[in-house]
Amino acid sequence: MNEINVLINKAKLEKRIEELAKQIEKDYKDEEIVFVGILKGSVIFMSELAKNMKRSVEMDFMDVSSYHGTESTGNVIINKDIRNSIEGKNVIIVEDIIDTGRTLTYVLEHLKQKNPKSVKIVTMLSKPSRRVLELNVDYIGFSIEDKFVVGYGLDYNEKYRNLPYIGYIE
Ligand code: IMP
Ligand code: MG
């Protein structure tokens, strides 16, 4: 069992997620929104965010794998695409953490090809010091330093996703 230290506790996370939901509601007025969650890491953050929205939001998911070789863009493979059409709709990609930016750069281009009305990004966490590809991130829960974090959806070899806080492994 690895030692897990608390980086962001449950109360702080919940408060920040409430704020993000309020901000998103304000920005979109009464326009319809589709959340596209990136499996599996985004599921807990996405459900908390969705529960805080005072309106109906559609929810869809993508599953992608990225293999970081020597290329700056890495290789991203889509294991599962979204199920429903997003044509003419306002899409918000929901991610657990943005590290190099490779995954979301690929996902963003992929979704834009489906002719949505708009695409924005919300991420629970961001590690700005690790960015390889420049990416415009619209909503960020917390910017953190370069630590390997787990919990609230994030895993270490598929473990710790269900921790109700963000922790880091020493
Ligand atoms: P990117 O393509 O480098 O931005 O990679 C983002 C993905 O890497 C995230 O969706 C996570 O699955 C994974 N990841 C990056 N940093 C961490 C971390 O600290 N803990 C757990 N997973 C991470
Ligand atoms: Mg992920």
Contact between 78 and 110 under an 8 Å Cβ cutoff? The reply is: yes
Contact between 82 and 61 under an 8 Å Cβ cutoff? The reply is: yes
Ligand 1 lined by 76 (C-beta under 6 Å): no
Ligand 1 lined by 48 (C-beta under 6 Å): no
pLDDT tens digit sequence for 18-46:
999 999 999 999 899 999 999 999 999 99
In a domain, 167, yes or no: no
In a domain, 57, yes or no: yes
Strands 33-39, 90-98: parallel, antiparallel or unpaired by DSSP?
parallel
In a domain, 118, yes or no: yes
If you take atom 11 of ligand 1, which residue's CA is the nearest one? Answer: 97
Ligand 1 lined by 163 (C-beta under 6 Å): no
Residue 121 sits in a domain whose CATH number is 3.40.50.2020
In a domain, 166, yes or no: no
**67 token code pair:** 């293999």
User: Catalytic one among 60, 63, 81, 99?
Assistant: 99
Contact between 98 and 137 under an 8 Å Cβ cutoff? The reply is: yes
The closest-lying atom of ligand 1 relative to the alpha carbon of residue 103 is: 2
| Residue range of the domain that includes 104 | 4-160
If you take atom 16 of ligand 1, which residue's CA is the nearest one? Answer: 99
pLDDT tens digit sequence for 74-130:
689 999 999 999 999 999 999 999 999 999 999 999 999 999 999 999 999 999 998
In a domain, 108, yes or no: yes
Q: How many domains does the chain have?
A: 1
Burial (0-12, 13-18, 19+ Cβ within 10 Å), 102? buried
In a domain, 170, yes or no: no
In a domain, 169, yes or no: no
In a domain, 156, yes or no: yes
Q: Look at residue 75 in the predicted model and tell me its pLDDT.
A: 85
